[in-house]
Amino acid sequence: MAEKFLMRFLLDMPLFFDTNILMKRPIYLDFNATTPMDPLVLDAMLPYLKDEFGNASSNSHEYGWEASRAVSNSRKSIAEKLGALSKEIIFTSGATESNNLAILGVMHNFRNHRSHIITSEVEHKAVLDVVKSLEAWGVEVTYLKVDKYGRVSPADVGRAIKPHTRLISIMTANNEIGTINPIKEIAELAKHHGVFFHTDAAQAFGKVPLDVKNMAIDMLSISGHKIYGPKGVGVLYVRSQKPQVHLHPQQFGGGQEWGLRPGTLNVPGIVGIAKAIDLMFSNHETDSTHLLKLQKKMIETVLQKVNGSLLNGHPEERIYNNVSFSFPNLSADMFSLGLNGLAVSSGSACSSAEARPSYVLTAIGHSDALARATLRVGLGRTTTDEEVDICITKILQLSKKSQEIGH
């Protein structure tokens, strides 16, 4: 039956596809996967890719001094945005490395003790795979379930804490369905019990207010390419007092970044992520107003006009650029065929392609088939009303065509 359904759909493709769209690049609506670099970020980086090419560790001449100043100024600027101290900002290659350094670095301190970690079932693989590696070495792990919106309950966190719990790692916002977690409450619970708290803020940073001191966050991960900055650079915030977090380095070499992340500093990338963060804050009101309007328009129109469509994630507590729909009446094969001309995602784009359905979607109760028939639209700073209208129209056309073929 499915094969006949798909064949009928393919036969109707010439009528369904917009050949004009096929002649140009697709509309980019995958901003949760990555963002284009803001031109002002590139402008800030260019001097350090050309004339100011010095090594920030070269302290005997002007080239090194200028590179070092650029790193220091970037560190200070980022710290101010987080409510942190400059010395608490560690530069990495991205949120994946930041997550690895945070989790492995803390847990190394307890390698000769009974240890327990709390995380959730819907964390990014850059957290889950690290935790699983520790589990293989004897660390006890609790994987918290989430509600139908993909949200972690602070009460569940509190119940999971044990006398030997060392670390809690819960993401600020989910990369697939956009749900924002109650991070402040969870972090305060961790602090009350003397447990370190880490959050992967790659999707949320710049969209959700984050003050590490006021929110009792001990470690926080950021990635440059999620915030209109360069790829290959990230930040790890590490609390230095009340309590001080001691991380054991996972790499060894020249001693850069207080020995926690050795290697020649990526000066252009560091300048770039600092500029991107600065722009996220200065553009926040404009971006959020613009994208909330587009998000609301898409959600309301699709839910109203596509029979049976489901919004994934929390209806209100979600980052303003994420929209995730599942369509019970569509097969995943036809779903992808009907969206030509759009660069969208059917799930997380942060891991290699797999035949298995998204573990995030199955964790919130979706069947394998429904999880596969899911569309994630990532809106961005440059997304226009016209582009959103085209996306909505194509979803409606796909639904209509599916119903016609089904009958």
Return the closest-CA partner of residue 189 out of 213, 160, 164: 160
Higher pLDDT, 120 or 399: 120
Map out the domains of the chain with their CATH numbers: 2-30+284-406 (3.90.1150.10), 39-282 (3.40.640.10)
Give ∠ CA 1-347-203 in degrees, rounded to 5: 165
N- to C-terminal Cα separation, the chain: 13
| pLDDT, tens only, 324-353 | 999 998 877 776 667 889 999 874 444 445
What global pTM score does this model have?
A: 0.92
| Residue 407: pLDDT over 90 | no
| Residue 382: pLDDT over 90 | yes
Whether the Cβ atoms of residue 275 and residue 41 lie closer than 8 Å to each other: yes
In this prediction, what percent of the chain has a pLDDT beyond 90? 81
Return the closest-CA partner of residue 201 out of 352, 353, 30, 82: 82
The torsion angles phi and psi of 323, rounded to 5 degrees, stand at -135, 130
| pLDDT, tens only, 30-80 | 999 999 999 999 999 999 999 999 999 998 999 999 999 999 999 999 999
CB burial of 391-401 (b: ≥16 within 10 Å; e: otherwise) equals bbebbeebbeb
Distance CA 106, CA 292 (A): 37
Distance CA 367, CA 286 (A): 38
From the CB of residue 187, how many other CB atoms can be counted at a distance below 10 Å?
26
pLDDT of residue 23: 60
Return the closest-CA partner of residue 198 out of 223, 217, 179: 217
The contacts of residue 387 (CB under 8 Å, 6+ apart) are 27, 29
Rg (alpha carbons) of the chain, rounded to whole number: 23
pLDDT of residue 127: 98
The torsion angles phi and psi of 240, rounded to 5 degrees, stand at -105, -5
- Range name among 182-191, 212-221, 368-377 with the lowest pLDDT average: 368-377
| pLDDT, tens only, 247-265 | 999 989 888 989 899 999 9
| pLDDT, tens only, 59-71 | 899 999 999 999 9
6 band by pLDDT with thresholds 50, 70 and 90: low
| Residue 24: pLDDT over 70 | yes
Highest mean pLDDT among 97-101, 108-112, 347-351: 97-101
The contacts of residue 156 (CB under 8 Å, 6+ apart) are 144, 145
Strands 310-311 and 219-223: unpaired
Higher pLDDT, 15 or 260: 260
Please give the DSSP secondary-structure letter assigned to residue 66: H
pLDDT of residue 295: 98
Whether the Cβ atoms of residue 223 and residue 217 lie closer than 8 Å to each other: no
Distance CA 171, CA 120 (A): 8
| Residue 113: pLDDT over 70 | yes
Q: What mean pLDDT is reported for the chain?
A: 91
Catalytic site positions: 350
pLDDT of residue 402: 74
Ramachandran assignment for 150, one of left (phi > 0), alpha (psi -120 to 50 degrees), beta (any other): left
* Three-class DSSP category at 348: coil
